[in-house]
Amino acid sequence: MILSYCVVLLAFLGWLDVVTGDYSLIVFYLVPVSLAAWFVSKKCGLFFCLLVIVVRVIADNWSRSDFFAHSSLNYWNEFIEFLFLLIMSLLFSALKKNLDNEKNLARRDPLTDTLNRRSFFDLAEHEIKRSQRYDLPLTVAYIDIDNFKEVNDQCGHQAGDELLVAVVSTIRSNVRSMDILARFGGDEFVILLPDTPADAATGFLKKIHAQLDTAMTVNKWCVTFSIGSATYVKVPSSVDTIIRTADELMYAAKHGGKNRLIHKEIGEVEHG
C-alpha cells in the first residue's frame, strides 16, 4: 500500500513539475523517497531516489525546449538533487533502524534475546483474551535453574551467561512459533503455551526437562531445573494469577527436592 502511495505521489509531482516549469519541487520529491525508506526498506528508498531523477529529467525535457534543459549546468543540478535525496534516504533508513533497535532492546532481554517481563505480560493478556473468547485451554510453565549461583561463584559470570544462553537455545528448539518465552529473573524463565491441554503440556515439559538436563551434562554444568506448570481449562482474566500459580508450583518442586516437574490442571476460574 505504501509503495502504491509513493508511486502515485511521484507521478503527481512529475506532472506538477511539467506544469510549473522553472520552480524547484525537490523538497516535495523527498516525501515519496522518505516514505519508501522508512516504511519499506533501505533499498526501496534508494530505488525511489533513482526514480525521482528519471522523472525530473523527463519533466525538464518535456517542459523545456531551450538550451538550458540540455546544458551541463542543468545536469549538474539534477546530480546534486540526486545526492541530496540519496543522503536523506540513507538518513531516514538509519534513523528507522536505530528506532527499531531501541524498541527491540526495550522489549527483550539483551543476553538471551527472550522477551522481558513487561513484554510477556502484554502478549499474555492478548492470549488470555483469545483463550476466553474461543474457550481454549492455556498452560503456563515457570522454570527455575537450581544451584545457578554456584556456577557464577565457581566458574564466573561468563560461564553463567553461557549457561543461560544454552538454556534458551534448548527451549527454543522445542517451542512452537505461537508459544511465548520470557526471562523473568536472573535464572527464571516462563513459557506460555496457548491452546495447550494438560496432557500435551506435561509431555512437552517432560521433554524440555530431559533435554535441559542433557545439555547441562554435556557442558558439565552442575545445575538442575525445577518446573511448575498449570493448565487452565477456564482461563482467568489476570496474568498475575496464572503466573503466581505456576510460581507456587515451581517453589513446591524446589522445596520437594529440586530437579522436579509439578503440573496442575485447573478446571475452574481462579480469582485473584
Which residues are known to be catalytic? Answer: 187
Cell of 238: 489476570
Distance of alpha carbon 135 from alpha carbon 43, whole angstroms:
45
Distance of alpha carbon 192 from alpha carbon 184, whole angstroms:
12
Task: Report which of 87, 77, 92, 85 is spatially closest to residue 28, judged by C-alpha positions.
Answer: 85
Distance of alpha carbon 262 from alpha carbon 247, whole angstroms:
11
Look up residue 115 and give its DSSP letter: B
Cell of 135: 474457550
CB-CB contact of 131 with 236 (8 Å): no
Task: Report which of 10, 1, 8, 7 is spatially closest to residue 39, judged by C-alpha positions.
Answer: 1
